[in-house]
């Protein structure tokens, strides 16, 4: 179902009235983690003012260490909904367990499947039984085929609203957190009709890499961006080193909007 051979036209996914795919470019912005009401609402307002189309924010966090902040969980979902009420931005947040599929189906506009769960086939099948659009991140060491097969798990259950997200892969390089595989855009577009967005934040792991990689993403023909932003990156509860502050995000969006127009997208 994900294969271009059987579906020649590009897919456009509709997410609560917003579109991503083909001529529609989507910008998803927000903090790594939802930290509190004021935090998420103020960041959402800045994201919206800069021109983002979606608000992201982790409520359930897949942290490397069990002693790191694990997310506000269901309280985080409630705060995301408040931020949506305040700004109108649809919400994108990560689901880690089949236990919470119903809660996500009720409250979330796009369900994110994180890199670490890309091959959690039970989770993929359960989100496949919903109608909610799914943002499927590429696994840390997943090949294109493995990634597309994971999309297939979701689609084969009936949910064809899948957007792929390249977020950097593990390589021998240690200077950057991961290596952004920008080739994923043309390769995936050759193999599949599904939209693909780029997450330069988790790819590089440093804020200074985000503007250049975002510009590369637009010019590569990607269908969108996912960018981590925070009002106070130095004190963020997770991934602060890779977050842009709202002013930096304003500057980036001014350029990105011009490039989107050059690419003939909206
Ligand atoms: C995230 O988006 O905050 C995240 C944990 O991403 P990934 O699954 O790509 O590491
Ligand atoms: Mn993060």
Going by alpha carbons, the residue nearest to atom 4 of ligand 1 is 114
Structure tokens at 105: 């189906």
Going by alpha carbons, the residue nearest to atom 10 of ligand 1 is 115
Residue of 80, 202, 229 to test ligand 1 pocket, by largest number of atoms within 8 Å of CB: 202
Tens digit of each residue's pLDDT (9 = 90 or more) over 96-135? 999 999 999 999 999 999 999 999 999 999 999 999 999 9
Q: Is the pTM of this model over 0.95?
A: yes
**5 alpha carbon – ligand 2 mean position (Å):** 34
Q: Which residues contact 143 (CB under 8 A, 6 or more apart)?
A: none
Residue of 28, 117, 119, 137 to test ligand 1 pocket, by largest number of atoms within 8 Å of CB: 137
Answer yes or no: are the C-beta atoms of 233 and 249 closer than 8 Å.
no
Superfamily of domain 4-262: Aldolase class I (3.20.20.70)
Residue of 115, 164, 170 to test ligand 1 pocket, by largest number of atoms within 8 Å of CB: 115
Q: What is the interface pTM, i.e. ipTM, of the complex?
A: 0.99
Instruction: For the chain, give every domain's residue range.
Output: 4-262
**192 alpha carbon – ligand 1 mean position (Å):** 23
The pLDDT value recorded for residue 121 is: 98
Residues of the chain with pLDDT under 70: none
Ligand 1 pocket, residues with Cβ under 6 angstroms? 32, 58, 62, 114-116, 137, 167, 202
The pLDDT value recorded for residue 206 is: 98
**113 alpha carbon – ligand 1 mean position (Å):** 8
């Amino acid at each position: 179902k994900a294969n271009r051979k059987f579906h020649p036209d590009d897919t456009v996914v509709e997410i609560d009235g917003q579109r991503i795919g083909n001529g529609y470019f989507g910008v998803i912005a927000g903090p790594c983690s939802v930290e509190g009401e004021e935090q998420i609402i103020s960041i959402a307002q800045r994201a919206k003012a800069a021109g983002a189309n979606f608000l992201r924010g982790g409520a359930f966090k897949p942290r490397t260490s069990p002693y790191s902040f694990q997310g506000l969980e269901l309280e985080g979902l409630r705060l995301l909904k408040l931020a949506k009420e305040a700004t109108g931005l649809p919400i994108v947040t990560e689901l880690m367990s089949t236990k919470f599929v119903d809660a996500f189906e009720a409250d979330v506009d796009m369900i994110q499947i994180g890199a670490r769960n890309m091959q959690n086939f039970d989770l993929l099948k359960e989100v496949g039984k919903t109608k909610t659009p799914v943002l499927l991140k590429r696994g840390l060491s997943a090949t294109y085929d493995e990634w597309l097969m994971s999309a297939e798990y979701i689609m084969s259950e009936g949910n064809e609203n899948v957007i792929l997200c390249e977020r950097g892969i593990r390589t021998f390089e240690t200077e950057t957190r991961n290596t952004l595989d920008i080739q994923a855009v043309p390769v995936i577009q050759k193999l599949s009709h599904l939209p693909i967005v780029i997450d330069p934040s988790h790819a590089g792991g440093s804020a200074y890499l985000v503007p250049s990689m975002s510009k590369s993403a637009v010019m590569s023909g990607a269908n969108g961006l996912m960018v981590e932003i925070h009002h106070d990156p130095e004190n963020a509860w997770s991934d602060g080193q890779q977050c842009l502050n709202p002013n930096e995000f304003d500057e980036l969006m001014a350029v990105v909007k011009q490039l989107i127009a050059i690419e003939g997208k909206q």
